[in-house]
């Protein structure tokens, strides 16, 4: 297959012209000296996408030069799952972590799904296996299993239905039962339990980013910045959520900022999220506690370009596992279809 990619060392004025429109909204976040390093990759990726009939899906936690520079579609886990269903592209490059790439493959079995770095994992996905779920089902026979999308396809295959932080409460309530097994995020599960009358059986999985926030940290920021509004992700510990003014998914937080335009915001989640929201809301001051996800940050522009050039690394799922996992994801998408993430 022929490509239109120009070698990076040959890209100069053409690159500046091609990438200027993408860079302008990021100027307050990405210094021009940094953009000079990113721009050749942005130009090369965007050219090669056309030749490959490819798109880049980027999670909200991706760095700004990826999120606003090369992503065709972006959002939280629910949005990416929904967007993956609707794309006509032949190739999907998932700028995110491995379970997201697996989810995209589940919903697009006939498309090529690439992840630029197989090391882009997830502490939640690593906290539980399919065997663990089978043991839980033996211990609690007949209790439906609700599994957070931050899990492997193997775990999804053992589940009744998936959820994201955007729709977890709605998914749990849709089952019409008085008890569920909720896996694997303990803190998200506790938050769901607080929002419903359902008895929630929990697993002690935690997000390496969100578990590090503390209520003392939030109080220090409140003391240092007058009138700051605190937005927290429900993967945070309950005592952190108790200090927040708003609790919601990444898309929920972004929507809240866009709709309310608070003067000053502290976003209790991965710090690239605050950068990306700041680009879209230049009138809002973002105060950044900045806990970085080491997994999300394995994805870089050079790796995305290499992935497209070499068509690696392709996500492959065992057909039997894929069939069962796909049903759990599709059941999730049927709950509140059309409401978004």
Helix axis angle, 301-310 relative to 32-52, nearest 10°? 20
Q: Is the pLDDT of residue 242 over 90?
A: yes
| pLDDT above 60: residue 40 | yes
Per-residue model confidence (pLDDT) at position 11 = 55
pLDDT of residue 79: 84
197 compared with 341, residue with greater pLDDT: 197
Q: What fold does the segment set 210-287 form as a domain?
A: Rossmann fold (3.40.50)
Using the predicted structure, report yes or no on whether residue 340 has a pLDDT greater than 80. Answer: no
8-120+296-310: CATH superfamily = NadA-like (3.40.50.10800)
At residue 223, the pLDDT reads 96
Give residue 39's Cα distance to chain centre. 24
Average pLDDT over residues 35-48: 94
Read off the pLDDT band of 87 (50, 70, 90).
confident
Between CA 310 and CA 11 the distance in angstroms is 20
* Range 85-109 average pLDDT: 94
| Average of per-residue pLDDT across 199-221 | 97
At residue 4, the pLDDT reads 45
pTM of the model: 0.92
What is the band of 337 on the pLDDT scale with cuts at 50, 70, 90?
low
Can you identify the CATH homologous superfamily of domain 123-206? NadA-like (3.40.50.10800)
Mean pLDDT of 86-103: 95
Q: One fold for both 8-120+296-310 and 210-287?
A: yes
Based on C-alpha coordinates, what's the Rg of the chain?
A: 20
Domain positions in the chain are 8-120+296-310, 123-206, 210-287
The β-bridge partners of 183 are 147
Q: Whole-angstrom Cα distance, residue 127 to residue 109?
A: 26
Residue 339, pLDDT score: 42
pLDDT at 338 over 50: no
Q: In 3-state terms, what secondary structure has residue 181?
A: strand
Residue bearing the bigger pLDDT, 135 or 88: 135
| Residue 336 binned pLDDT confidence (cut-offs 50, 70, 90) | low
- Report the length, in residues, of the chain: 341
Nearest to 13 by CA among 30, 34, 36: 36
* pLDDT score of 130 more than 60: yes
pLDDT mean across residues, the chain: 93
Cα 164 from Cα 178, distance rounded (Å): 20
Percent of the chain with pLDDT strictly greater than 90: 87
Give the per-residue pLDDT at 1.
41
């Amino acid at each position: 297959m022929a490509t239109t990619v120009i070698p990076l060392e040959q890209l100069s004025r053409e690159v500046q012209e091609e990438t200027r429109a993408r860079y302008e909204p990021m100027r307050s976040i990405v210094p021009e000296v940094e953009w000079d390093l990113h721009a050749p990759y942005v130009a090369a990726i965007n050219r090669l996408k056309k030749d490959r009939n490819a798109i880049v899906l980027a999670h909200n936690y991706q760095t700004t030069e990826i999120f606003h520079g090369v992503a065709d579609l972006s959002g939280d886990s629910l949005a990416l799952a929904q967007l993956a269903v609707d794309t006509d592209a032949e190739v999907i490059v998932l700028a995110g972590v491995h379970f997201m790439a697996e989810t995209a493959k589940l919903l697009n079995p006939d498309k090529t799904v690439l992840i630029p770095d197989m090391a882009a994992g997830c502490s939640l996905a690593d906290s539980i296996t399919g065997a663990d779920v089978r043991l839980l089902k033996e211990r609690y026979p007949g209790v439906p299993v609700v599994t957070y999308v931050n899990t492997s396809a193997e775990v999804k295959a053992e589940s009744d239905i998936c959820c994201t932080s955007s729709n977890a409460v709605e998914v749990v309530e849709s089952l019409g039962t008085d008890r569920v097994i909720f896996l694997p995020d303990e803190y998200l599960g506790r938050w769901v339990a607080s929002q419903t009358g359902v008895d929630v059986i929990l697993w002690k999985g935690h997000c390496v980013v969100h578990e590090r926030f503390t209520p003392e940290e939030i109080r220090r920021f409140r003391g240092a910045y007058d009138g700051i509004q605190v937005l927290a992700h429900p993967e945070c510990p309950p005592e952190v959520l108790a200090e927040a003014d708003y609790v919601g998914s990444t898309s929920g937080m972004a929507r809240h900022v866009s709709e309310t335009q608070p003067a000053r915001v502290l976003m209790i989640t991965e710090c690239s999220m605050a950068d990306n929201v700041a680009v879209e809301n230049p009138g809002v001051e973002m105060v950044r506690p900045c806990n970085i996800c080491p997994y999300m940050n394995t994805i870089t522009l050079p790796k995305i370009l290499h992935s497209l050039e070499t068509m690696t690394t392709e996500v492959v799922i065992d057909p039997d596992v894929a069939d069962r996992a796909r049903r759990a994801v599709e059941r999730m998408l049927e709950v509140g279809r059309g409401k978004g993430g």
